[in-house]
Amino acid sequence: MRTSRGTSIVGLGMTELGRVYGRSPRRLAADAVRLAAADAGLALGDLDGLLVSHGVSGSPGIELAGTLGLGDLRLLAQVNAFGATAGAMVSYAAMSVLNGTATTVACVFADAPRKPKQSAGAAYNRSAREWHGFAGMTAALGLRSVTSFYALAAQRHMARYGTTSEQLGAIAVSTRAWAAGNPLAEMRDPITLDDHQNSRWVSEPLHLLDCCLVSNGAIAVIVTGDDRARDLARPPVHLWGWGQGHPGHRKERGSDFGLTTGAASAGATAMKMAGIAPSDVDVCELYDCYTYTVLVSLEDYGFCAKGEGGAFAASGALGPGGSLPTNTGGGQLSAYYMWGMTPLSEAVIQARGDGGERQVPARDVILVSGNGGILDHHSTLIVSPHPKGA
Amino acid sequence: MDIGILRRDGRTDPFFDGTAAGRLVIRRCEACDRWFAPDASGCPGCGEEDPGWAEASGEATLVTWTVLPEEPPAYLALVELAEGPWLHARLDGVTRGDLREGLPLHVTFERPDEGETYILFHP
Ligand SMILES: [Zn+2]
């Protein structure tokens, strides 16, 4: 089998997102893969690799291959690094193409945690009358939502570096400003810093408008070699670099929990592979489960000094017209929460020039992040409309 | 916030035996001379999957915190035990104005009418 010198994302498939009820994760995943193949101008039978990932409502499973009628696959696996999975899957797909394991690999995420007549956050909260085990004790004492664990991280950053709620709010405001231009975004009405400050506390120091949405749906991308990518339906989105960072913060004296994340090592690895520095990045699509996640990621990637993420966000750099357009589709905060597929899908849209009224003019280098667990796992991709080194 | 009822499940028995006796008991690997949180899955130093238990001093400092918007507010935290491990914890007897990195804390024991005795941390 001939190996390829470069790899690209050539297909993007997105189901309806948000309040999409009545479809299982496997059905949603199958729909997304079909859409991605059609987008690329490929038949399902052209796929010889499938990587599957899931959220909190059950996995599509590698049985998805059977659902799609895929035979003679050369690569098939379920991948899980929580919110870092999308970037990781794309890197495994690219490596498989580069070493000849497979030629054309679909990577899919699906989740359907949102139920009719239930609050959006319910899927990420625990509730019980009786509690078991140490995790049960922690929950019983009050740490029952993912938001509270991120609040602990954000509060530590605030206490150490003087980061403020208003600076977090600047990220909520700029992200919503981008969402206004995205027809796929669930929340498109502009918000002000006052709206952010007046939104209810979920878990101090995080307001409601510091927190992401919860969405049902699925997104798939297709990775292939540049030799094949040239002949397909859409402009290739070239993969320049990738990296992961799993800091393994131990919960003990000396831990950097809340202060630094796996973005530091993941970003360094990906940027070295891509042959770029932070100053070369035109657009950031960052995992924004919380406003704070964006702020600390910007620091760890080196877009500003450690501790200066708040001032950087408040400077207006991240919004429309700013120096570092970030989360240009409205991110997870305002558009849709498809874990790592949210930033990745918007990166593909921007790289292709399909951003419509939100399209950024300079898009030669786009950084995509994924973050999983409570800042436990991180992935980075560097993508571009141009071949690497061209 | 209603704490609910805490039940032991085998792994937590030594911890709850301790709290019932007014003692904070956490994991300790004697071979490696290291302390771990009660929920530690093992000692990464030597691979022991079931490190022993030992009584901690109950002294701690505040690492970080979050406040739930309830009446009265619930103060939740990461605390650093004097021995080094961090615990997810609930604070008692504090106000927002007290909260700062390094605030000295000590453990207290709460005996509900039903279920296991749990711990709180006070300034
Ligand atoms: Zn040991």
CATH no. for residue A385? 3.40.47.10
The answer to whether residue A287 is catalytic is yes
Q: Is A356 left (phi over 0), alpha (psi -120 to 50) or beta?
A: left
Q: Do B86 and A200 touch (CB under 8 A)?
A: no
The pTM (predicted TM-score) of the whole model is 0.97
Looking at residue A125, its pLDDT comes to 83
User: Please, are residues B101 and A159 in contact by the beta-carbon 8 Å criterion?
Assistant: yes
Residue B62 identity (one-letter amino acid): L
Task: Based on the fold, state whether residues A181 and A285 are members of the same structural domain.
Answer: yes
- Nearest by CB to B76, from A136, A143, A160: name it: A143
Q: Are strands A366-372 and A75-78 parallel, antiparallel or unpaired?
A: unpaired
Looking at residue A137, its pLDDT comes to 94
Q: Do B9 and A133 touch (CB under 8 A)?
A: yes
Chain A residues with beta carbon closer than 8 angstroms to that of B77 = 152
Instruction: Please report whether residue B33 resides in a domain.
Output: yes
User: Please, are residues A141 and A62 in contact by the beta-carbon 8 Å criterion?
Assistant: no
Looking at residue A5, its pLDDT comes to 84
Instruction: Please report whether residue B112 resides in a domain.
Output: yes
Instruction: Please report whether residue B1 resides in a domain.
Output: no
Minimum CA–CA partner of A206 in chain B: B66
A291-301 vs A263-274: helix axis angle to the nearest 10? 50
Q: Do A130 and B11 touch (CB under 8 A)?
A: no
Q: What is the C-alpha separation between A103 and A222, in angstroms, rounded?
A: 10
Instruction: Please report whether residue B43 resides in a domain.
Output: yes
Instruction: Please report whether residue A252 resides in a domain.
Output: yes
The answer to whether residue A150 is catalytic is no
Residues around ligand 1, an ion, CB closer than 5 A? B 29, 31-32, 43, 45-46, 48
Q: Do B68 and A255 touch (CB under 8 A)?
A: no
Q: Do B64 and A153 touch (CB under 8 A)?
A: yes
Q: A1: how many CB neighbours lie within 10 A of its CB?
A: 9
Instruction: Please report whether residue B66 resides in a domain.
Output: yes
Task: Based on the fold, state whether residues A248 and A152 are members of the same structural domain.
Answer: yes
Minimum CA–CA partner of B110 in chain A: A141
Minimum CA–CA partner of B100 in chain A: A159
Minimum CA–CA partner of B7 in chain A: A132
Task: Based on the fold, state whether residues A101 and A201 are members of the same structural domain.
Answer: no
Task: Based on the fold, state whether residues A349 and A253 are members of the same structural domain.
Answer: yes
Q: How far is B11 from chain A (nearest CA, A)?
A: 7
Instruction: Please report whether residue A123 resides in a domain.
Output: no
Query: Which residue, among A224, A5, A248, A274, has the nearest Cα to A106 in the 3D structure?
Result: A224
Task: Based on the fold, state whether residues A157 and A35 are members of the same structural domain.
Answer: no
Looking at residue A4, its pLDDT comes to 52
Chain B CB within 8 Å of residue A162 CB: no
Instruction: Please report whether residue B24 resides in a domain.
Output: yes
CA of residue B25 to ligand 1 center, whole Å: 17
Q: Do A131 and B64 touch (CB under 8 A)?
A: no
Range of the domain at B52: 13-122
Mutate to test the interface with B, among A126, A141, A168, A199 (most CBs of B within 10 A): A141
Chain B CB within 8 Å of residue A248 CB: no
Q: Evaluate if residue B4 carries a pLDDT over 90.
A: no
Residue ranges of chain B whose CB lies within 8 Å of a chain A CB: 1, 3-7, 9, 11-12, 15, 36-39, 63-69, 74, 76-78, 80, 84-90, 100-101, 115, 118
Looking at residue A47, its pLDDT comes to 98
Instruction: Please report whether residue A132 resides in a domain.
Output: no
Task: Based on the fold, state whether residues A95 and A202 are members of the same structural domain.
Answer: no
To which H or E segment does residue B36 belong?
strand B34-36
Q: Which residues contact A84 (CB under 8 A, 6 or more apart)?
A: A244, A262, A340, A370, A371, A372, A377, A378, A379
Residue by residue, pLDDT tens for chain A (390 residues) are 444 589 999 999 999 999 999 999 999 999 999 999 999 999 999 999 999 999 999 999 999 999 999 999 999 999 999 999 999 999 999 999 999 999 999 999 999 999 988 887 887 788 888 999 999 999 999 999 999 999 999 999 999 999 999 999 999 999 999 999 999 999 999 999 999 999 999 999 999 999 999 999 999 999 999 999 999 999 999 999 999 999 999 899 999 999 999 999 999 999 999 999 999 999 999 999 999 999 999 999 999 999 999 999 999 999 999 999 999 999 999 999 999 999 999 999 999 999 999 999 999 999 999 999 999 999 999 999 999 987
Task: Based on the fold, state whether residues A263 and A390 are members of the same structural domain.
Answer: yes
Task: Based on the fold, state whether residues A194 and A150 are members of the same structural domain.
Answer: yes
Q: How far is A339 from chain B (nearest CA, A)?
A: 24
Interface confidence: ipTM more than 0.95: yes
Q: Evaluate if residue B104 carries a pLDDT over 70.
A: yes
Instruction: Please report whether residue A121 resides in a domain.
Output: no
Task: Based on the fold, state whether residues A100 and A152 are members of the same structural domain.
Answer: no
Which structure tokens are listed for B68?
């739930």
Looking at residue A78, its pLDDT comes to 98
The total number of structural domains in chain B stands at: 1
Task: Based on the fold, state whether residues A167 and A264 are members of the same structural domain.
Answer: yes
CA of residue B54 to ligand 1 center, whole Å: 14
Mutate to test the interface with B, among A204, A208, A292 (most CBs of B within 10 A): A204
Task: From the candidates A287, A290, A292, A336, give the one annotated as an active-site residue.
Answer: A287
Composition of chain A by helix, strand, coil, percent to 5: 40, 20, 40
Instruction: Please report whether residue A2 resides in a domain.
Output: no
Task: Based on the fold, state whether residues A28 and A161 are members of the same structural domain.
Answer: no
Task: Based on the fold, state whether residues A15 and A40 are members of the same structural domain.
Answer: yes
Range of the domain at A100: 7-114+214-229
The total number of structural domains in chain A stands at: 2
Q: Are strands A7-14 and A75-78 parallel, antiparallel or unpaired?
A: unpaired
Q: Which residue has the tokens 């997104």?
A: A219
